[in-house]
Amino acid sequence: MHSKRPSDLTFAFTANRKVVSLLAQEAGFHSAEVSALDTMADLLGLYLERLLSTTHSYADLANRTRPNTHDLAQSLEDQGIPLSSLLKYVERFRSAPIAKVSSSLTLRTEQSRKSTVEKMPQFLPSEDEEEDEDLEEATDLPVYVPAHLPRFPSKHSFKQTPVYIQRPDDPQKVRELNSQQSRTVEENLKRLMSTENQLARRPAEKLLTNEGGDDAISMMMPIVNYESAMQRRKRAAKQPEYNNNMTSQEASKRARSSVGEIQS
């Protein structure tokens, strides 16, 4: 009947039959039919599968990958088995002799030498942290922290830092910083405008080489250097002020000379 089962299912079914036989003997039965024993073994397998599935569901609900004793206790309570009754059952049959049922299948279990604890990746250290502090953080943990918990991350992952960069208070340094920033902006603008001018010249050059007419020249885009135009405007705006200053100086000189002539 069960010859076509896989090896792992065959072992689980045989173990369930053994458990059912022990429970039947504890209940006072001396014999059982094969069909009844197989049915009870299947029911026991379904019951355990449902119990373990509920246990894993509680672990997933708590954002854990592995269930613990609390998940199992909650699953047993959902199945109508409180822990108090389970403890009474254990105390009842603790001193009773254990019945043995012969079985041809045995399961060999070997203890794994590999650790099941997942290794956490090391965080990159901060630039302002010293190596000695990193070594102390990696090796020393407070007493209240269990050994199986991961190490503390680096300080830069949770340390509060200012959002804005602190500017110098010295006026000379401020002027130097502003001039440096303005030169950087000007250089970037020059590169940008030179690139745009080159891109604008390409279609016009293609038209000149292909057609070679006055229409191609009229279709060329006017290329204006924005920076040079702004500089000319600034010089033009400063020029009247300079002329006004010169005229006022000349007027004062003339007034002084006229006063000197009158006094003489």
- The DSSP annotation for 70-108 comes to HHHHHHHHHTT--HHHHHHHHHHSSSSPPP----S----
Among 21, 28, 27, smallest CA distance to 44 is for: 21
The domain spanning residue 84 has which CATH number? 1.10.20.10
Q: Cβ(243)–Cβ(236) under 8 Å?
A: no
Q: Does residue 132 surpass a pLDDT of 50?
A: no
Q: What is the pLDDT of residues 228-256, one digit of tens each?
A: 666 767 776 665 544 545 555 665 666 66
Q: What is the mean pLDDT of residues 41-54?
A: 89
pLDDT at position 21: 86
Is residue 119 in a domain?
A: no
Is residue 183 in a domain?
A: yes
Number of domains in the chain: 2
Q: Residue 170 is encoded by which pair of tokens?
A: 């010295």
Boundaries of domain holding 230: 172-245
Q: Cβ(31)–Cβ(20) under 8 Å?
A: no
Is residue 231 in a domain?
A: yes
Which of 92, 118, 135 terminates a domain? The answer is: 92
Is residue 33 in a domain?
A: yes
Which of 92, 127, 148 terminates a domain? The answer is: 92
Is residue 137 in a domain?
A: no
Which one-letter DSSP state was computed for residue 1?
-
- Reported residue count of the chain is 264
Among 52, 49, 44, 89, smallest CA distance to 74 is for: 52
Q: Does residue 224 surpass a pLDDT of 70?
A: no
Q: Residue 236 is encoded by which pair of tokens?
A: 């033009």
Is residue 252 in a domain?
A: no
Q: What is the pLDDT of residues 203-223, one digit of tens each?
A: 766 666 665 555 544 444 445
